[in-house]
Chains A and B, each alone.
Chain A
Amino acid sequence: MAIPGTFLYSFFFIVPVCLGVYYSFTDWNGVKRTNNFVGFANYVKALTSKRFLNSIVFNLKYTFFYVILLVILATIIAMLLNNKIKGITTFRAFYFLPAVFSGVTISLIFNQVYFRVIPSFAKTLGITSLEQSLLSSKSTAMWAIMFVNLWCALPMQSILILAGLQTVPEDLLEAARIDGANRVQIFHYVTFPHLIPTLSVVLVLAVKAGLMIFDLIKVLTDGGPNNATRSVSMLIYADAFENKRYAIAMAEAIMIGIVIAAISYIQLRISNKSKTD
C-alpha cells in the first residue's frame, strides 16, 4: 500500500535533490551533454561574487524587518480578534479572507495600485514624492513589497496566534484582574508566557518565508529596480533559467537550502518541545 506514494515522493522529491547536489559539483550549463567534476569551485565562485552576497544582504534585511513587523502586527490583530464583542465572528471571517487568494493575484492588484491608483491620488493631492510608483524607486521598493507580503501573510499568522490566545486559561486572567493587574501587566505576566510556543512557531515560519521569498518579488518588481530587490530565490531562478549559470545556481540553492533546513530543524524541535511540556 505504501508503494505508489513512496514512488512519487522519491522520484519527484528526493531524486531532484540528489541530482541538484551532484550538478552543483560540476561545470554543467544546462545544455551541454558532458560535464566535468569541479569540486567546490561553484561554491567558491558563488560566495565570492557580488551578486550572491548582495542577494543575501537583501534577504537578511528583508527578513529582519518582515519578522519583526509580522510578529508584532499579528499579535495585535489576534488580540483585537480575541475580544468578546458583537460581530467578532464576522470580523474574523473577513480578516482571514486574504489568506485564500493567490499571492500572485494580490500582487497583481497591488502592482496596479502602486502604479496607477496611488500616483493618481498623489497628483490630485499634490504630493510629488508619490507620483511615481513606489516599486520603481530603489529606496521604497522593498517596503512596497513588504506591505503586500504582510497583507497576504498576516491573516494566517493572526489566526494561529488567536488559537494560542484561546489556550490561556480564563480563570488565570480573572484572578489577575481581581488582584488588580492592569492590561499591560496581564499581557506581560499571564498571556505572554502562554503564547511563547505559538509565537516561536510563527517566528520561525516568518524567518523561513522571508528567506525564501520569490512569488511576490517576481510579480511586483522582477528583482528590479536595478536589482535592488533581487532575493536569493530570484537570483537562483535567473541564473538557472535565464543566464545559463546552471551549476552555480545549484550551488547557491544548496547553500540557502542548508540554512533553511537548519531553521526547519529548530522549528521541529520547538514544536515537539511545546507538545511534551
Chain B
Amino acid sequence: MKKKTLSRLLVYLCLILGLLLILLPLYITVCTAFKRTSDSLRNYLSLPTDLYIDNFKYIVTKPDYWQAFGNTVLITAVVCLGDALLMPMLGYAVGRRMEESKGWFRFYFYLLLGIFIPFQVKMVPIVQMMSALRMLNPFGLSVLCIGSTTCEATFLYTGYLKGIPRELENAASIDGASTWTAYKSIIYPLMRPIIATSVIKDGLWTWNDFTLPLITLNRSPKYWTLVLYQYNFQTEAGVDYGLVFACLCLSMIPILVFYLCLQKQIISGLTAGAVKG
C-alpha cells in the first residue's frame, strides 16, 4: 500500500513539473506585460507591484492593431463559412456517388491528392498566381485557405457520411423531394457534429496561420493579420519589451476564451485533423 502512495506522489510530482514548464512562459508573458520595462529588468519572475496598463493602452489605441484584428476576423469567418457551406456539399456529392461509380471514386482520390503535397511545393507558385490575379489581399487569402482545407474536409465528411443510412434519402425522394431538398433538410442537419469539428479545426488553423499570410500579405500593414502584426511588432517595439509581451498577451486572450468555452470540441477537432496530417 505504501508503495502505491509513493508512486502516486511521484506521478503528481512529474505532472506538476510539466505544468510549471507549460505555465512559466505564459506567466512571464502576463507579468512582463503589466510591468514597466525598468521593473522587469530587475526581476522577471516577480508579480507586478501595481497594475501598469500603459503597454496595453499603447497597442489598443493603434489603428493598425484593430485593422489587423479585423482582417483576421474576416479571413477566419470566410474560411469557416466556406468550410460549413461548400465543403459538405462536395463531401456529400462525392461520398454518395463514389460508392456506385468508378469515375467518382477516382475523383475522390483526386481530392485527396493534396494530402501528399507539402506546402513548400505550392508556396512559390501561389504567390505568383495570386499576384497575377490581384488577389494578394485578405479576401484572396481566405479563398486560398478554403481551397487548402478541401482535402481534409472531404476526408472527414465522406467518412462521416458512410454512417448516415441511404434509406433516409431514398424515403425522401419517394416522397417527392429533390436531391437538393433531401440534402438540405435531412443530410445537412445530420452532418452538423462533423461540420462543427471541421470548422473549429480550420478556424483555429486560419487564425493562427503564419506561413500563408507571410507570403501573401506581408507587403502592407493594412493587410496584416494578428499573427503578422505580432511578428512585425517586434521590430517596432525595439527594446521596449513590455510592449512586445503586452501585444502577445492581447493576441492570446481570444484563443484562451475560445478554448475555455469549447475545450472538448477543440481537442476532438484538432486530434481528428492531426491523424490525417
Q: Is A192 an interface residue (CB 8 A)?
A: no
Does more than half of chain A's interface fall in helix, strand or loop, or is it mixed? helix
A75 CB, min distance to chain B CBs, angstroms: 13
Does B122 lie within 8 Å of A159, measured CB to CB? no
Pick the contact of A256: B90, B118, B211 (CB < 8 A).
B118
> What 0/1 pattern do residues 102 to 117 of B give for CB contact below 8 A with A?
0000010001011111
Q: Is B177 an interface residue (CB 8 A)?
A: no
Contacts of B125 in A (CB 8 A): 15-17, 19-20, 23, 250
Known: A108-B231, A215-B210, A257-B121. A1 touches B271 (CB 8 A): no
Does B129 lie within 8 Å of A219, measured CB to CB? no
* Residue of B32, B87, B107, B116 with highest tally of chain A CB at under 10 A: B116
* Chain A interface size range: 35 or more
Does B207 lie within 8 Å of A205, measured CB to CB? no
Does B271 lie within 8 Å of A109, measured CB to CB? no
Q: Is A166 an interface residue (CB 8 A)?
A: no
Contacts of B163 in A (CB 8 A): none
Q: Is B171 an interface residue (CB 8 A)?
A: no
> What 0/1 pattern do residues 228 to 270 of B give for CB contact below 8 A with A?
0011001000000100110010011001101100010011001
> What 0/1 pattern do residues 206 to 239 of A give for CB contact below 8 A with B?
0010001011001100000000000011001100
Please name 19 pairs of A and B residues whose Cβ atoms are closer than 8 Å in the assembled complex, sorted by A: A4-B90, A9-B147, A9-B151, A13-B147, A17-B121, A23-B125, A94-B22, A95-B19, A102-B210, A105-B227, A112-B32, A113-B25, A113-B28, A214-B119, A214-B211, A240-B123, A240-B124, A250-B124, A253-B121
15 further interface pairs, Cβ-Cβ under 8 Å (given A240-B127, A261-B117): A5-B90, A8-B82, A16-B126, A96-B263, A98-B22, A100-B258, A100-B270, A102-B210, A109-B29, A109-B245, A109-B248, A208-B277, A214-B211, A257-B118, A260-B118
